[in-house]
Amino acid sequence: MTGSNLKEGRLRAGWTQKQAAKSLGLTQAYLSMIECGHRRVSPQVLLRAQVFFDLPPTSLPLETAAPSSTESEALKLELGAFGYPGFGYLRGRPMRNPAEFLFAALDESDLDIRVVEALPWVAWRYAVDMNWDWLVRNTKTRNRQNRLGFVVSLAKEWAAKQEDHRRATKLAGPQADLEQALLAREDTLCHESMTNAERKWLQQNRPEQAKQWNLLTDIQLDHLAYAAA
């Protein structure tokens, strides 16, 4: 997040620079330097600003370390905080950047199918502001680019179905990058515990889109509740 983004959020919230500086624990002079780009926005300031100015989750700082294991239940809480319809009854404030959320979720060996089905929605919801360079780069370090590519392709398909050209265009870039980095090794979509019988069946009956991304999954856009209409 840049200082100008912080200023835009402050003005949108109707705060003066003096009021904002006091709430953020800064001097007005220091906040002015941040907004002018002479000082960086620290993670601590960003987290406080995210609360006070109601900034989008994509403004949250991104961790550079490898993702830690995350339980499906914790991911459901995060999806609820993002506003995902399937977990809309779970309220809260987003505490993690959607790019980091996708990075962590896609690195899991096994996830609740309801969480897996929500991942294209996250890519679609934050398509415009997502830090795709960070997400694609870090996903490659974990050899999960096929998983991300499949999720992005479903999100792009949904955007096209809605005639949402802005989102579709934004998603086309990372999809092309991931296609160039496609791994020949067959993978699952966060369901590595499937039986050999399931694997054999999916090898013969998976959708063409899953086949293109070398994934063993039967997920299709029309099967997703939020995209079926």
Question: 171 vs 42, which has greater pLDDT?
Answer: 171
Give tens-digit pLDDT for 144-197.
999 999 999 999 999 999 999 999 999 999 999 999 999 999 999 999 999 999
Give tens-digit pLDDT for 203-221.
999 999 999 999 999 999 9
| Distance (Å, whole) CA 53 – CA 6 | 9
Domain residue ranges in the chain: 3-55, 72-223
For residue 184, what are its two tokens? 């020949």
Instruction: Report in angstroms the alpha-carbon separations of 45 from 39, 74, 92, 115.
Output: 12, 25, 20, 31
Average pLDDT over residues 103-123: 96
Assigned fold of 3-55:
434 Repressor (Amino-terminal Domain) (1.10.260)
User: How many residues would you count in the chain?
Assistant: 229
| Bridge partners (DSSP) listed for residue 24 | none
Residue type for 116, please? V
Give tens-digit pLDDT for 44-57.
887 788 778 777 88
Please say whether the beta carbons of 152 and 115 come within 8 A. no
Given this model, what pLDDT does residue 13 score?
83
- On the 0-12 / 13-18 / 19+ scale of CB atoms within 10 A, 126 is buried
Given this model, what pLDDT does residue 100 score?
94
